Chain A
Amino acid sequence: MRSPSWRRAVWTQRLALSSLFLATMVALVPAVVVIGLVLARGMPVFSWKFLTTMPTHGMRAGGIFPAVIGTLELVALTGIVALPVGVLAAIYLTEYARDHGLTRLVRLAIVNLAGVPSVVYGLFGLGLFVIFCRFGASLLAGALTLAIMILPVIITASEEALRSVPQSFREVSLSLGASRWQTVRYAVLPFAVPGIMTGTILGMSRAAGETAPILFTVAAFYLPRLPTSIFDQAMVLPYHLYVISTQIPNVPDVQRYGTAMVLLGLVLSLNIVAVVLRAHFRRKRQW
């Protein structure tokens, strides 16, 4: 049975599978390298003081407190805006949408929103929120822009969560005389919360890392005071990192890596929280 062609096939397979393995390594090792590098070189400057003091010497020293606060506020505001709209839109798609043409259009629109380049969102935010709505460059304008950007993430995750609730729950609720909204509110939504939360946190982690949409809508290079209202500009981590790595000369490497580390840490923690929550609720599920 060990014909030459069979042997050739086995060798081809070995070669091919090894190449595939190699390809996977080439694809993934950079991720590890980037994270490892940033951690290693940023660690020396990382401390509570780094996170809680103001920058000094034209950003070359000191802490990154205002950028941290700005990012946290921006991300929180983004979540507050995007979550209700995203969940309601998902409820529309799973519980109310009938007309197939319109539904298909909605889905196409969502896919398109997901694909719009981030800098185009920046332009849109500038045109609509900063100028037309006269919010000016502000946390509000930036949050609204980012909220639209992460809407597809929240809608997709929420839709999946809603669909995973068994149809029988809806049937039971309706058969007891509940209205469609009551059924959604009491027999579906509560059981979709974990998935919705996971999606929102992932969306917020995305928003935390974005730079282009906030370039013209909220980011400030240096503010002497922290923002006091949503109409103020703010310093944010991604923009800060960009500025100190490209616009300011002679910033010590360790400051740059430290900032990158904090940003990366924030984004990755949010991701990890989302994944852990998802696993936890999947285990606790009763149906």
Chain B
Amino acid sequence: MVSPTALATKMHVKDWSVWYGRIQALTSVSFEIQERDILGVIGPANSGKTSLLRSLNRMNDVDPTFRSAGQITLEGRDLYRELDSRQVRRRVGIVFALPLPLPLSIRDNVTYGPRLRGERNAARLEELTERSLRAASLWEEVKDRLDLTAMKLSGGQQQRLCIARTLAMDPEVILFDEPCSGLDPISTAKVEETMLQLKEHYAVVLVTNNTKQASRVSDRVAFFLMGELVELDRVDVIFTAPKDRRTEDYVTGRFG
């Protein structure tokens, strides 16, 4: 296991707090997201995990009651004050909990983002499609039916398609929001395998309700409780010798 400080920091979260109207969802959270590292985020429902994720790619902007304090930087540049939300979302991609293909062909799903960004060259788009589908472990299964509608794929295939779609944007950070919650065990295994492969090139943040999944896949784990970051450490430390009593209670199943 590599010590956390040896990897380059991709994003830095400093004293980040979030409110929706009067309800506070996150309180003064601070941590780092590192390259070539999978950070698992665990915690019971309503602990702020999703708010955190949506802050990282500015999806919270869509909510008119959203307010924040603190700072998040991406390679040193402030996400909210220096960067444009579209730039952020292209560099920080997300895969949602339910498989959400658009009712378009498989190819059009994957190339949706790049085409909106202005990519017109058909050859480049084809190459991008293949590369992304391979990286998402879906190429072999769909390479002969790229024009078929994505809605006919199975749940697991659709989720890998969503991963390919996000990868096609060539992001630097990939966020996973409980990506296996709707999937069967075999598809879950495939998605987890894909995440481990993605670690080679991206910074990954995985929010999950499944502590076993977190222990299988993550390098570091952050435990959130009621909007607070309680503890963040290497995966082996969190699961065998957590420093905070609350962390221990959660990972041993005493609540949550």
Say whether B169 contacts A177, CB under 8 Å. Answer: yes
By a CB distance below 8 angstroms, the chain A residues around B113 are 176-178
Say whether A177 contacts B103, CB under 8 Å. Answer: no
Of A67-75, A78-86, A114-122, A164-172, which stretch is located at the interface? A164-172
Interface presence of A98 (CB below 8 A): yes
By a CB distance below 8 angstroms, the chain B residues around A187 are 102
Q: In the bound complex, how far is the Cα of B59 from the Cα of A178, in angstroms? A: 12
Say whether A287 contacts B151, CB under 8 Å. Answer: yes
Q: In the bound complex, how far is the Cα of B98 from the Cα of A187, in angstroms? A: 18
Chain B at the A interface: SS class: helix
By a CB distance below 8 angstroms, the chain B residues around A287 are 103, 151
Q: How far is the CB of A156 from chain B (nearest CB, A)?
A: 24
Interface presence of B62 (CB below 8 A): yes
Interface presence of A286 (CB below 8 A): yes
Question: Which residue of A is nearest B91, CB measured?
Answer: A177
By a CB distance below 8 angstroms, the chain A residues around B98 are 168
A143-201 CB contacts (< 8 Å) to partner B? 168-169, 171-179, 182, 186-187, 191
Say whether A177 contacts B117, CB under 8 Å. Answer: yes
Say whether B103 contacts A286, CB under 8 Å. Answer: yes
Q: How far is the CB of A186 from chain B (nearest CB, A)?
A: 7
Q: In the bound complex, how far is the Cα of B57 from the Cα of A145, in angstroms? A: 47
Please count the residue pairs between chain A and chain B whose beta carbons lie under 8 angstroms apart in the complex: 58
Q: In the bound complex, how far is the Cα of B92 from the Cα of A250, in angstroms? A: 79
Question: Which residue of A is nearest B114, CB measured?
Answer: A176
Q: In the bound complex, how far is the Cα of B104 from the Cα of A172, in angstroms? A: 13
Question: Which residue of B is nearest A176, CB measured?
Answer: B113
By a CB distance below 8 angstroms, the chain A residues around B166 are 175-176
Q: How far is the CB of B108 from chain A (nearest CB, A)?
A: 10
Q: In the bound complex, how far is the Cα of B61 from the Cα of A98, in angstroms? A: 13
By a CB distance below 8 angstroms, the chain B residues around A98 are 64
Q: How far is the CB of A283 from chain B (nearest CB, A)?
A: 14
By a CB distance below 8 angstroms, the chain B residues around A177 are 86-87, 89-90, 113, 116-117, 169
Q: Could you list some 30 contacts between A and B, CB below 8 A?
A: A168-B96, A168-B100, A171-B62, A171-B96, A171-B100, A172-B96, A172-B100, A173-B102, A173-B112, A174-B62, A175-B57, A175-B89, A175-B93, A176-B112, A176-B113, A176-B116, A176-B166, A176-B169, A177-B86, A177-B87, A177-B113, A177-B117, A178-B116, A179-B86, A186-B112, A186-B116, A187-B102, A191-B103, A286-B149, A286-B151
Interface residues of chain B, those whose CB is within 8 Å of chain A, are 57, 59, 62, 64, 86-87, 89-90, 93-94, 96, 98, 100, 102-103, 112-113, 116-117, 149, 151, 162, 165-166, 169
Closest 7 CB pairs of A and B: A176-B113, A177-B90, A286-B103, A177-B89, A286-B151, A178-B116, A177-B86
